[in-house]
Amino acid sequence: MSRLPASASIATPLDGARLFAPSAERNAPAITALLCEIGPAQGRALEIASGTGQHILALATALPGVEWHPTEIAPERRASIDAYAAEAGLPNLRPAQYLNATAPGWAAAHAPFNLIYIGNLLHLIPQAAALILLTEAAKALTHDGVFVVYGPFLRAGELTSEGDAQFDAELRAADPAIGYKDDDWVNEVLTSAGLDQEVRQMPANNLAFIARRIPL
């Protein structure tokens, strides 16, 4: 993992193994509404970098016909996801699995998925790592699958709010290799990976890329 400022991934302990991220709580309703609108009603869904598990808990509750697969690189976060899942007892929420989403080749070991969701990671990793993540996710989709990438981004190379400028500067000060990725760059990578996409403006100046395989 890159060096991160304290503001990048805040999660505090609750009871047991559960962790609580205030930002995850704030953006869960908008992410859940989006995936309910554009996601499949059935099938297999992968969440990359599930974090504390707050999002996948909301998603598995809102889309009960979908089998949700949480994944995380950090063991304490996998424990948190499983603690939330155990408490909720949702039959469609699988145990958290280890996934380093920036390691080449992971798609072959995990695919196929009808829905893949990744939130709030691309700005925390170098561009070369983000390229691997996006390319592998495209490979892991079923032919009719949808890939959703959510988070803060540059718009045509520009930072578009004071909060974004401050956060991006904090990230780059902690590690010059990381920071906000450009929306045009994400578009190019997804297109090169064979996906067509729509971009939605989300609350708190975030974006959601909704990418589907281009029909042959």
Ligand X SMILES: C[S@@+](CC[C@H](N)C(=O)[O-])C[C@H]1O[C@@H](n2cnc3c(N)ncnc32)[C@H](O)[C@@H]1O
Q: Which spans of this chain sit near ligand X (rule: CB under 6 A)?
A: 1, 9, 21, 24, 48-51, 55, 72-74, 77, 99-102, 119-121, 124
CB of 214 to ligand X, least distance (A): 26
Which C-beta is closer to ligand X: that of 110 or that of 212? Answer: 110
| Residue from 88, 97, 110, 114 nearest 50 by CA | 97
Could you tell me if 112 and 141 are in contact, meaning their C-beta atoms sit under 8 angstroms apart? Answer: yes
Which C-beta is closer to ligand X: that of 25 or that of 196? Answer: 25
CB of 102 to ligand X, least distance (A): 4
| Residue from 97, 169, 110, 158 nearest 136 by CA | 110
The position carrying tokens 């450009």 is 182
CB of 117 to ligand X, least distance (A): 8
Name the residue number minimizing CB distance to ligand X: 51
CB of 112 to ligand X, least distance (A): 19
Secondary structure class of 10 (helix, strand, coil): coil
Q: Which residues pair with 93 in a beta bridge?
A: 68
Which C-beta is closer to ligand X: that of 32 or that of 120? Answer: 120
Which C-beta is closer to ligand X: that of 7 or that of 192? Answer: 7
Cα–Cα distance measured from residue 136 to residue 119, given in angstroms and rounded to the nearest whole number: 16
Secondary structure class of 39 (helix, strand, coil): coil
